[in-house]
Amino acid sequence: MAHLLAYEGAWEEEYITIRLCTAVLPEVRYARFNKQQEGRVGSDMIWWWVDRSGECFGCLIQAKNIKQNGRQWRIGFQHPHNTGEQLRRLFTTADLLHLPAGFLLYAGDQAYRERMGCTSQHRNRAPCHERPGAAVTLVPALAAEREIQFAESAPWHPDRSAVEVFCQWALPLIDVTAPLPYGASPLYRGLNLGDASHELREFLYTDQVGARKIARHVFDAVGRMAMGQHALATPTTVLDADAACVFSQLPDLRGHFTVPYFGHMLRGLRRELPGYVEQCLSGDVPEDVARHVGSVVLIQL
- pLDDT value of residue 136: 95
Question: Are the C-beta atoms of 164 and 150 separated by less than 8 Å?
Answer: yes
According to the model, what pLDDT value does residue 4 have?
93
- 10 Å Cβ neighbour count for 5? 14
Cβ neighbors of 194 (< 8 A, separation 6 or more) are 235, 236, 237, 238, 251
CB atoms within 10 A of CB 118: 16
Count up the domains in the chain and report the number: 1
**CA geometry: angle at 109 spanning 223 and 50, to 5°?**
45
Cα dist. 148→105, 115, 141, 243, 258 in Å? 16, 21, 11, 33, 12
Q: Note down the domain range covering 84.
A: 2-300
Alpha helices in the chain, H assignment, sequence order: 2-8, 13-23, 35-38, 85-97, 110-113, 141-151, 160-164, 173-176, 198-205, 210-226, 261-266, 275-281, 287-290
SS3 label, residue 252: coil
Q: So what's the pLDDT on residue 69?
A: 77
pLDDT attached to residue 129: 79
Quote the pLDDT of residue 122: 64
CB 165 within 8 A of CB 144: yes
pLDDT tens over the chain, length 301 residues: 999 999 998 899 989 999 999 998 888 999 998 654 434 434 589 999 999 999 999 999 999 999 887 778 888 665 555 556 778 889 999 999 999 999 999 999 998 988 887 766 666 677 787 888 999 999 999 998 888 776 555 554 555 678 888 888 899 999 998 888 888 888 887 677 777 888 999 999 999 999 999 999 999 999 888 876 654 445 566 666 677 899 988 888 887 888 999 999 999 999 999 999 999 999 999 988 988 899 999 999 9
From the number of C-beta atoms within 10 Å of its C-beta (0-12, 13-18, 19+), residue 101 rates as: buried
